[in-house]
């Protein structure tokens, strides 16, 4: 695989660059870093990567720093929490739209980045040249980063649009992310709060519902 060949050939200086710059992601074309940032929210879109490849006449290999996994609806309505496989337990949920697909799914502020099923965000051409393997709940899974369009729908019908770099998990249906909740397609992380800072997310533990609204001064 081209990605593995490139990584094993250049991993030493790419790893060194990650540590020295405290980078969240880098794009390498051949033996040169052509783009990087310490902020994952600035991860390039597919069109940006293609442009880098055209400018260098080389395949743009996008690498992401190791991502720690911290264990731990319709407009006008609150979203009911999702029951887990454990008696009496439920996961807070939030309604979002990702790449035009509306999903009401689990919300976890203990997760640094939003994890998405490969059934929701489909693989594109350049995704064949990037990918990572990580452990979650003691199980290995593979993923790649993709910048996607996200819409958060508030309880008054307000639609707030943003861009968010998500981790697309390959073979999601057999990944550790469905162990707790078998119907889960997305695990929304706290990166959404960074991308959309002008919202309030209210978790009602008594009613087991989530309400989302725009801040009064926003």
**157: phi then psi, degrees, rounded to nearest 5:** 95, -5
Decide if 66 contacts 57 (C-beta within 8 A).
no
* Spatial separation of the C-alpha atoms in residues 194 and 121, rounded to whole Å: 21
Judged against a pLDDT cut of 60, whether residue 107 lies above it is answered with yes
Give the length of the chain. 218
pLDDT, tens digit, 9 for 90 and up, residues 175-199: 988 888 889 999 999 999 999 999 9
| pLDDT for the residue 48 | 93
* 205: three-class secondary structure by DSSP: coil
pLDDT, tens digit, 9 for 90 and up, residues 123-142: 777 666 566 777 666 778 88
Q: Where are the alpha helices (DSSP H) in the chain?
A: 2-21, 46-56, 191-195
Architecture of the 79-214 domain: Beta Barrel (2.40)
Q: HSE of 205 in the Cβ direction (CA atoms, 13 Å)?
A: 2
* Spatial separation of the C-alpha atoms in residues 63 and 19, rounded to whole Å: 13
Percent of the chain residues past pLDDT 70, beyond the cut:
86
Top-confidence residue, 126 or 157: 157
Here the tokens at position 176 are: 């550790």
Least confident of 57-66, 167-176, 186-195: 57-66
Other C-beta atoms lying within 10 Å of the C-beta of residue 88:
6
Decide if 7 contacts 14 (C-beta within 8 A).
yes
| pLDDT for the residue 163 | 94
Can you tell me the mean pLDDT for 94-106? 90
Q: HSE of 33 in the Cβ direction (CA atoms, 13 Å)?
A: 17
Percent of the chain residues past pLDDT 90, beyond the cut:
34
DSSP for residue 69: B
**CA 13: distance to chain centroid?**
26
Here the tokens at position 26 are: 């880098």
Q: Return the residue matching tokens 């976890």.
A: 108
| pLDDT for the residue 83 | 81
| pLDDT for the residue 188 | 94
How sure is the predictor about 42, in pLDDT bands with cuts at 50, 70 and 90?
Answer: very high
Give the CA distances from residue 208 to residues 84, 87, 92, 155, 165, in Å, rounded to whole numbers and listed in that order.
Answer: 13, 14, 7, 16, 28
- Tell me the domain boundaries of the chain: 2-64, 79-214
* Spatial separation of the C-alpha atoms in residues 17 and 22, rounded to whole Å: 8
Judged against a pLDDT cut of 90, whether residue 51 lies above it is answered with yes
Give the CA distances from residue 69 to residues 53, 121, 180, in Å, rounded to whole numbers and listed in that order.
Answer: 31, 20, 15
Top-confidence residue, 89 or 21: 21
């Amino acid at each position: 695989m081209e990605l593995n060949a490139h990584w094993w050939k250049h991993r030493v200086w790419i790893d060194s660059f990650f540590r020295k710059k405290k980078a969240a992601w880098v794009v390498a074309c051949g033996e040169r870093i052509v783009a990087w940032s310490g902020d994952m929210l600035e991860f390039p879109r597919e069109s940006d990567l293609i442009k880098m490849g055209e400018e260098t006449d080389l395949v743009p290999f996008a690498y992401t720093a190791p991502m720690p996994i911290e264990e731990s609806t319709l407009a006008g309505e609150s979203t009911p929490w999702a029951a887990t496989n454990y008696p009496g337990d439920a996961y807070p949920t939030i309604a979002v739209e990702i790449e035009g697909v509306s999903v009401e799914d689990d919300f976890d502020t203990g997760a640094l980045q939003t994890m998405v099923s490969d059934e929701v965000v489909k693989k594109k051409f350049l995704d064949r040249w990037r990918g990572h393997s990580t452990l979650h709940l003691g199980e290995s899974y593979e993923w790649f980063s993709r910048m996607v369009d996200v819409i958060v729908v508030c309880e008054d019908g307000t639609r707030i649009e943003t861009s968010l770099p998500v981790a697309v998990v390959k073979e999601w249906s057999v990944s550790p992310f469905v162990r707790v909740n078998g119907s889960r397609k997305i695990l929304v992380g706290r990166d959404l709060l960074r991308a959309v800072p002008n919202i309030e997310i209210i978790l009602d533990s008594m009613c087991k519902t989530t309400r989302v609204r725009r801040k009064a001064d926003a």
